């Protein structure tokens, strides 16, 4: 139940008004059972006394009581719903932040699960604030009121009500564990289906190009079949549950009319009291059963809450400093010492025995074939993986001695996708400074990225929209805006991860000229497939199968005739063949 209480930390700012609203709303079960029972008792007493005045009094009582109860419970519903929605908003905000802060292993391989978490798990988790809790409180209040009134009327009916209610609670509680287990499995299965759908939607062009619609449908049917099976299992258990509850309902009628009738015949109970007791005994039995069912109904929200809260707490742990050591770097010399790294879902190491030293304001090119570990190494350096410790230091500051958020402040990042958001050019560039850059800083960064004149010529200038994913711009224009976004961050180290691989040769050469113009003010870490981009580097690092095999200048490595020379010769061979 710890996640039940953890969910309520989001209600803490609103607990007083939420609690009052929930109490007023929850009292309705007792109130709207007691009032009709009392009305029926007054009418029965009036009939037995043959008194029209007593009937008139009963009608006045009924009208006033219902009006007051309706207003009070309606106000309670309004207040508790409003406060619940505030807590739900805060929870979803933290969950969204957790997914944007998570490591790329989770973000890339489980993006569908992230969508499921925001759309399904968060909504399911926040049900804790609503129906299950209100049902529990309503029934506790109702049982307390009913039992007191019934015992005041006759202790034997009170004991009978407790016996029938306890049986109802026991029956419902017996179905709790299997329903809770199925609820957890349904959440997991639903997340898998949503993840699969997200994957298929993102690959929609490929599916259409290769006529894979039927194959995709078969995959969807296979993955959703488990959800279908779980629905059948849940329905079966609930059918048995309903059958037992029907039997319990018959026992309640036996208690009321059998036991109550005998008490009336024995002149221990009058008909007016029996009319009052009738709805209360029935209500108490149902309330006991609902409480037994409440724990079962809480299980799906609690399972979802466990996943949601764990994600949020994990992101918060990543934001916290991990030791009392100094939190800022003294200088920007980058050092990696014997780094070994494996992806969570892989059996083999992606990086092995990586050690390197990079002085400030150096241009360093990372080269190697596909799968050599270039991108993995750069992303490990800038803290893109969910790891507590990595043997990396920056100006004497160890990665393990600071928060991930603080570590990343030292780096700007540009990759081949150069993601742009559906907003204005100025807003996209300002994202590099957390959206807080001045127009002067934005235009200065654009000038350094050699994109200012193009932007100024657009209708709207810096306020021109980029379109979804920068669709209104060319690849080179998107890349220059991404570089401007990196520059406005004013980070000492800029990482270019295959930043020019999707461009034509002419545009690539222009972008590389822009990148190299930054070398006097920044350390530039460049992962590239094109070895021409490594010629002007102050250091070339060659990787093979996750290991550094050579380090040096372009001319030194060419003269050495090793792995770098082999890569370069293969490039020239490919260029010659393509030209032919």
What are 70-119's pLDDT values in tens digits? 888 888 888 878 888 888 888 888 877 777 665 555 444 444 455 555 56
Q: Please measure the distance between the N-terminal and C-terminal CA atoms of the chain and give it in whole angstroms.
A: 71
Rounded distance, CA 366 to CA 338, Å?
Answer: 17
C-alpha–C-alpha distance, residues 162 and 144, integer Å: 11
Q: Strand pairing of 334-341 and 351-358?
A: antiparallel
Residue 558: predicted pLDDT? 92
Q: What is the pLDDT of residues 107-158, one digit of tens each?
A: 444 444 555 555 667 777 777 776 666 677 777 877 888 788 888 888 888 8
Q: What is the pLDDT of residue 6?
A: 78
Q: What is the pLDDT of residue 324?
A: 47
Query: What pLDDT, on a 0 to 100 scale, did the predictor assign at position 321?
Result: 52
- What pLDDT does residue 188 have? 74
Distance CA 376, CA 444 (A): 31
3-state helix, strand, coil in the chain (%, to 5): 70, 10, 20
363-367 and 539-544 beta bridge pairing? parallel
Tokens of 566: 């082999």
Dihedral pair phi/psi, residue 547, rounded to 5°: -125, 150
pTM exceeds cut of 0.75: no
Question: Which residues of the chain register pLDDT less than 70?
Answer: 1, 29, 100-120, 130-134, 176-177, 180, 195-196, 198-212, 245, 248-249, 289, 292-297, 299, 315-330, 386-388, 469, 502, 571-580
Q: Quick one: tokens of 187?
A: 């959440």
Q: Please report, for residues 25, 50, 121, 141, the alpha-carbon distance to residue 286 in angstroms, rounded to integers and kept in the order given.
A: 18, 34, 30, 13
Q: What is the pLDDT of residue 577?
A: 47
- Domains in the chain, please, with CATH? 2-314 (1.20.1560.10), 329-410+506-580 (3.40.50.300), 420-490 (3.40.50.300)
User: DSSP for 308-359?
Assistant: HHHHHHHHHHHHS-SSSS--S-SS--EEEEEEEE--TT-SS-SEEEEEEEE-
Q: How many CB atoms lie within 10 A of CB 306?
A: 19
Interatomic CA distance for residues 255 and 243, integer angstroms: 19
Cβ neighbors of 189 (< 8 A, separation 6 or more) are 224, 226, 227, 230
In DSSP terms, which residues pair with 336 in a beta bridge? Answer: 356, 392
Q: What is the pLDDT of residue 29?
A: 67
Residue 413 pairs with which residues in a beta bridge? 495
Quick one: which of 371, 387, 418, 303 has its CA closest to 106? 387
């Amino acid at each position: 139940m710890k996640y039940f209480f953890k969910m309520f930390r989001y209600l803490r700012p609103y607990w007083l008004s939420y609690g009052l609203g929930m109490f007023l709303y929850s009292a309705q079960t007792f109130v709207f059972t007691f009032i009709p029972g009392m009305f029926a008792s007054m009418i029965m007493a009036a009939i037995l006394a043959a008194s029209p005045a007593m009937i008139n009094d009963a009608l006045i009582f009924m009208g006033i009581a219902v009006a007051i109860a309706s207003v009070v419970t309606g106000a309670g519903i309004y207040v508790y719903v409003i406060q619940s929605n505030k807590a739900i908003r805060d929870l979803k905000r933290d969950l969204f932040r957790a997914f944007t802060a998570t490591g790329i292993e989770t973000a890339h391989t489980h993006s569908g699960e992230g969508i499921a978490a925001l759309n399904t798990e968060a909504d399911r988790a926040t049900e804790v604030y609503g129906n299950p809790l209100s049902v529990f409180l309503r029934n506790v209040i109702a049982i307390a009121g009913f039992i007191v009134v019934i015992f005041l009327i006759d202790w034997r009916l009170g004991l009978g009500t407790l016996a029938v209610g306890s049986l109802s609670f026991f029956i419902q509680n017996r179905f709790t564990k299997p329903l809770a287990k199925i609820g957890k499995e349904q959440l997991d299965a639903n997340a898998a289906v949503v993840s699969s759908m997200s994957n298929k939607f993102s690959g929609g062009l490929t599916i259409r190009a290769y006529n894979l619609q039927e194959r995709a449908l078969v995959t969807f049917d296979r993955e959703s079949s488990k959800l279908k099976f779980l629905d059948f299992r849940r329905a079966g258990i609930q059918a048995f549950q309903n059958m037992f509850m029907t039997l319990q309902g018959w026992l309640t009628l036996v208690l009321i009319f059998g036991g109550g009738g005998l008490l009336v015949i024995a002149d221990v109970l009058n008909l007016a009291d029996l009319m009052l007791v009738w709805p209360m005994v029935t209500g108490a039995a149902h309330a006991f059963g609902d409480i037994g069912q409440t724990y079962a109904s809480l299980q799906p929200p609690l399972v979802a809450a466990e996943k949601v809260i764990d994600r949020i707490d994990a992101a918060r742990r990543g934001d916290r400093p991990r030791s009392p050591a100094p939190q800022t770097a003294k200088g920007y010399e980058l050092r990696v010492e014997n780094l070994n790294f494996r992806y969570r879902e892989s059996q083999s190491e992606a990086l092995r025995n990586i050690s390197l030293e990079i002085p400030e304001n150096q241009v360093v090119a990372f080269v190697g074939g596909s799968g050599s570990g270039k991108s993995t190494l750069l992303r490990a350096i800038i803290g893109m993986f969910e790891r507590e410790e990595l043997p990396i230091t920056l100006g004497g500051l160890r990665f393990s001695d600071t928060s991930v958020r603080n570590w990343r402040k030292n780096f700007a990042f540009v990759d081949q996708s150069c993601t742009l958001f559906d907003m204005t050019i100025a807003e996209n560039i300002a994202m590099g400074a957390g959206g807080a850059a001045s127009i002067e800083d934005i235009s200065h960064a654009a000038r350094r990225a050699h994109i200012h004149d193009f932007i100024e010529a657009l209708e709207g200038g810096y306020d021109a929209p980029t379109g979804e994913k920068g669709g209104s711009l060319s690849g080179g224009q998107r890349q220059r805006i991404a570089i401007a976004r990196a520059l406005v961050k004013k980070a000492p180290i800029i990482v270019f991860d295959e930043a020019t691989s999707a461009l034509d040769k002419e545009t690539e050469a222009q972008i590389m000229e822009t990148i190299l113009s930054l070398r006097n003010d920044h350390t530039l870490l460049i992962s590239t497939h094109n070895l021409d981009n490594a010629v002007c580097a102050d250091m070339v690092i060659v990787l093979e199968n996750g290991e550094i095999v050579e380090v040096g200048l372009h001319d030194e490595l060419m003269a050495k005739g090793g792995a770098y020379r082999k890569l370069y010769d293969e490039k020239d061979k490919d260029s010659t063949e393509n030209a032919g």
